[in-house]
Amino acid sequence: MKNNIIKESGTKGLFGLIGLLVMLLAVTGACTPGKQPAPETESHETGIKRSVFGKMPDGQEVHLYTLTNANGMQVAITNYGGRIVSILAPDRNGKMADVVLGFDNLQGYLDTHTYFGALIGRYGNRIGGAKFTLDGKVYHLPANNGPNSLHGGTKGFDQRVWTAKEIPGDEPGLELTYLSKDGEEGYPGDMHVKVVYTLEKDNGLKIDYNATTDKDTVVNLTNHSYFNLAGEGNGNILNTVLWINSDEITPVDATQIPTGKIEKVDGTPFDFRKPTPIGAHINEDNQQLKYGQGYDINYILNRKGPGLELAARAYDPESGRELEVYTTEPGIQFYSGNFLDGTIHGKGGVAYGKRSAFCLETQHYPDSPNHPSFPTTELKPGQTFHQVTVFKFTTTSK
């Protein structure tokens, strides 16, 4: 689909004398020898394009879908793990950079297990002791993070091949569906999951999540993009200025499971109520920072109601690239890329060092199934889980 900025110089529909004259003048200007043709009006082909991203070990082909809007912003998503592979966003001078960590092809994602850009499920973040009780029954999950179950288990939604459907248009989209079978990674119920990515005209990337089940179960879906607004591979994110619309966190124990307490951010390194560089307090002597080796904590978002509300804003002062995160979720995991250590080589072979990206994972609180006081993550037959998150790219002159 083409957007409506047309590059043509001729107004062929006008046959009157005035029209012809105007046309002649325009054409003469462009064709006079020695003169450069006038620069073309910026025009971007909006819509969605599919290419082959690689093959799964069983030979199944996996695709890359590139969404483009009229501003030239581009988001590439693969149906392997529903992962955002790249996001081209403009800086304050219109210069594009890819602002998410990832790999050039499917093989990169298969060779190195990371959560780069992935859809996370059934349960985003940790479930303590890799078990929970529901309707009086204990469910055991794979322990893949010390004693805990992290991000859906050994083979979560991030490692599944999703069914993709292209949605063409000026606000192109990609619908991804996946059926998680009863008992998969220990979770009860056949769960039908549908996630729709939409690249909006105003440079918002909307992620709309839906899930239904045929047995009582738990669910907590999120996206695990690793952002670097200076461009992936372009240094660390310590100068990125962050604001989080939150007064409280859910502190964790040594294995990063919420203690159940709720703590004010007041007077702690976790206070991002005023825009603050991520690096300003990251090395302070603080037990919660030590457990996470930096920021890796769930913030309880200040909310007015159930709708889409601004949760966080981050900007890179040098380029002016700014990210706004809107969500319907009650929490957000701010993770400052502490476990990256330079051993993973991403796009173009570049090494991703410690804190070379940050994540803002919109979610229900970690380990909710074991904390009845937290907002519930239970899903029953007949109900639909629904969450919406928008990553919106703007620029700032700050």
Q: Does 115 bind ligand GLA (CB under 6 A)?
A: yes
Shortest distance in whole angstroms from residue 118 CB to ligand GLA: 10
Q: Do 392 and 362 form a contact (C-beta atoms < 8 A)?
A: no
Quick check: is 224 catalytic? yes
Q: Does 359 bind ligand GLA (CB under 6 A)?
A: yes
Q: Does 352 bind ligand GLA (CB under 6 A)?
A: no
Q: Do 388 and 151 form a contact (C-beta atoms < 8 A)?
A: no
Residue among 115 and 209 whose Cβ is closer to ligand GLA: 115
CA atoms within 13 A on the CB side of 309: 16
Q: Does 335 bind ligand GLA (CB under 6 A)?
A: yes
Q: Do 275 and 242 form a contact (C-beta atoms < 8 A)?
A: yes
Structure tokens, 3: 């957007």
Q: Does 85 bind ligand GLA (CB under 6 A)?
A: no
Q: Does 109 bind ligand GLA (CB under 6 A)?
A: no
Q: Do 338 and 356 form a contact (C-beta atoms < 8 A)?
A: no
Residue among 69 and 246 whose Cβ is closer to ligand GLA: 246
Residue among 86 and 125 whose Cβ is closer to ligand GLA: 125
- Nearest alpha carbon to residue 369 among 214, 194, 217: 217
Residue among 121 and 320 whose Cβ is closer to ligand GLA: 121
Among 71, 333, 336, 363, binds ligand GLA (CB under 6 A): 333
CA distance linking residue 354 with residue 291, whole number of Å = 16
CA dihedral 371, 372, 373, 377 (to 10 degrees): 80
CA distance linking residue 348 with residue 89, whole number of Å = 18
- Report how far apart, in Å, the C-alpha atoms of 131 and of each of 140, 157, 188, 292, 368 are: 5, 18, 12, 22, 11
Shortest distance in whole angstroms from residue 37 CB to ligand GLA: 50
- Give the contact letters, 242-281, x = binds to ligand GLA (CB under 6 A), - = no: --------------x-------------------------
CA distance linking residue 211 with residue 386, whole number of Å = 7
Find the residue with minimal CB distance to ligand GLA: 335
Among 104, 339, 378, 396, binds ligand GLA (CB under 6 A): 339
- Binders of ligand GLA among residues 125 to 154 (CB under 6 A) are 125, 150
Q: Does 116 bind ligand GLA (CB under 6 A)?
A: no
Q: Does 185 bind ligand GLA (CB under 6 A)?
A: no
Catalytic option among 185, 248, 324, 361: 361
The DSSP 8-state label assigned to residue 177 in this structure reads E
Shortest distance in whole angstroms from residue 103 CB to ligand GLA: 16
Residue among 74 and 125 whose Cβ is closer to ligand GLA: 125
Structure tokens, 162: 């999703």
Structure tokens, 71: 């501003």
- Nearest alpha carbon to residue 248 among 350, 374, 134, 107: 374
Shortest distance in whole angstroms from residue 296 CB to ligand GLA: 5
Q: Is 87 helix (H, G, I), strand (E, B) or coil?
A: strand
CA distance linking residue 30 with residue 4, whole number of Å = 22
Residue among 83 and 194 whose Cβ is closer to ligand GLA: 83
Q: Does 296 bind ligand GLA (CB under 6 A)?
A: yes
Quick check: is 361 catalytic? yes
Residues noted as catalytic: 224, 361
Residues that bind ligand GLA (CB under 6 A): 115, 125, 150, 256, 296, 333, 335, 339, 359, 361
